Structure 1
Amino acid sequence: MSLFLATLLPGLFIALLGTLLLINTPAISSTAKAIPRSKRAAWLFFGLAAVWFVWRVSQLGESDLIFAKSPKPLMIGFGVLAVLSFIYASEFLAVRGLSVLMLLAAEPVLSAAYMEYHHPQRLLMVTAVYLGVALAIYLGGAPYRLRDIFEWLFRLPSRPRLVGGILLAYGLATTAAAFTY
């Protein structure tokens, strides 16, 4: 992935999130509040995360495989764990799926910015991605906290607009930085 694309995509995503929060219609707030326990969101986010992770495991090289000769047993094992998660650990599975997606998406984006010291504007993207990684690790361990965050955020009508304005400005700045490479 090029540094341009690695900066453009997170910038557009952050700007989109900011725009949604800035608009703050009842449909947006009710959808956001429903995501943590939604079965459909769990199938979407955790399903995508499981497929992406199993695909990443299938790409492991010989030096990455310590106990197995091929990645197939690991792929089967993680696939079975994903299916069992839907059956036995379905609470807040959408939040865990979002966390895994954030962690998986961070690797190619941060790899594109690696050793690009002559482009200091990349730090806009890198900072946002590391904050996303920290949030993903936190929410992966305590997924019920996303429900609490949404309750706090949407309690007052001014909060989502303020957070949305900040995210929109940051996203647009990051998007603009992509065009300076």
Structure 2
Amino acid sequence: MDAQDMGRDLADVLIGEDDIRARLGEIAAQVDADYAGRDLLLVGVLKGAVMVMADFARALHGPAEMDWMAVSSYGSGTKSSGVVRILKDLDRDVTGRHVLIVEDIIDSGLTLSWLVANLRSRGAASVEVMALLRKPDAAKVTVDVKYVGFDIPNAFVVGYGLDFAERYRNLRVVGTLAEHVYSS
């Protein structure tokens, strides 16, 4: 889905497709150098990281295995329940592995902080984080993020894996929604 396909639903494009692809290539080159000769396991956080993981993994020049987790810190509403639940766990054992968590976006950092601690407790040799987007103004806890694509303002964004009511994940850019989409 291109930006023009959204018509009036898209208020603004924050990051274009070419910029995303270029930045993922830069991060992949750094990861290739940092993990040369190591057994790298990419752990994507569902559902949002699907697009990031696919393009990032293809930009790598070294081998990397992929696995997926789905975690949630939300109940039925929009407020955090304070409890993180694993909705889908890893298929692989991380003991002794170098794990790189691949995220679409970091908001408060609460769930990610829990995930990093959880994977370390499982005996991973190392656990680092790569996120396409980070909202520094939304952080509630400090999470060490080794690789960041873009810092963005504290706005609700969609596209490139990020959704609103399960829509707009396939938008090729990152943008903000027009108010009429979410106010009705």
Q: TM-score range by the shorter chain?
A: under 0.3
Query: TM-score, normalised on structure 2?
Result: 0.24
Higher relative contact order (CA 8 A, sep 6+): 1
Write 1 or 2 for the structure with the bigger share of strand: 2
Query: TM-score, normalised on structure 1?
Result: 0.25
Write 1 or 2 for the structure with the bigger share of helix: 1
Q: Which has the larger radius of gyration?
A: 1
